Amino acid sequence: MLPLEGRVALVTGAGRGIGRAIALALAQQGADLAINYAHNDKAAEEVRDEIRRMGRRAELFKCNIADDNAVHAMGEAIRKVFPRVDVLVNNAGITRDKSFMKMTHVEWDEVLNVNLKGPVQMTHLFLPQMVENAWGRVINITSVIGQMGNFGQANYAAAKGGLDAFTKSVAREVARKGVTVNCVAPGTDPMMSECVTTITGMMDGRFVACSTTGEMPGMGTFTGMGLNGFDNVSQKFQGTWCDNMGTGMMFGTGELSKDGKVLTWTFTYNDPMTKKQAIMREVDTRSGPNAMKLEMFGTDPASGKEFKMMEIAYTRAAKGAAPAAGAATGGRTLAAPATKPAGAPAGRSAPAGAPANTAPAGGTGR
Active site amino acids = 156
φ/ψ (deg, to 5) at 40: -85, 95
67 DSSP assignment: -
Q: Would you call 265 helix, strand, or coil by DSSP?
A: strand
Alpha-carbon gap, residue 114 to 122, rounded angstroms:
11
Phi-psi region of 134 (alpha: psi -120 to 50; beta: other; left: phi over 0): left
Q: 87 burial class (0-12, 13-18, 19+ CB within 10 angstroms)?
A: buried
Q: Which of 307, 260, 305, 300 is nearest to 284 (CA)?
A: 260
User: How many residues belong to the chain?
Assistant: 366
Which helix (H) or strand (E) element contains residue 32?
strand 32-37
Phi-psi region of 283 (alpha: psi -120 to 50; beta: other; left: phi over 0): beta
Residues 56 and 30: beta-carbon distance below 8 Å: yes
Beta bridge partners of 251: 240, 268
Alpha-carbon gap, residue 281 to 112, rounded angstroms:
37
Alpha-carbon gap, residue 155 to 161, rounded angstroms:
10
Residues 147 and 161: beta-carbon distance below 8 Å: yes
Residues 179 and 158: beta-carbon distance below 8 Å: no
Alpha-carbon gap, residue 175 to 170, rounded angstroms:
8
- Dump strand ranges (E) for 111-248: 136-141, 179-184, 192-202, 207-216, 220-231, 236-243
Which helix (H) or strand (E) element contains residue 213?
strand 207-216
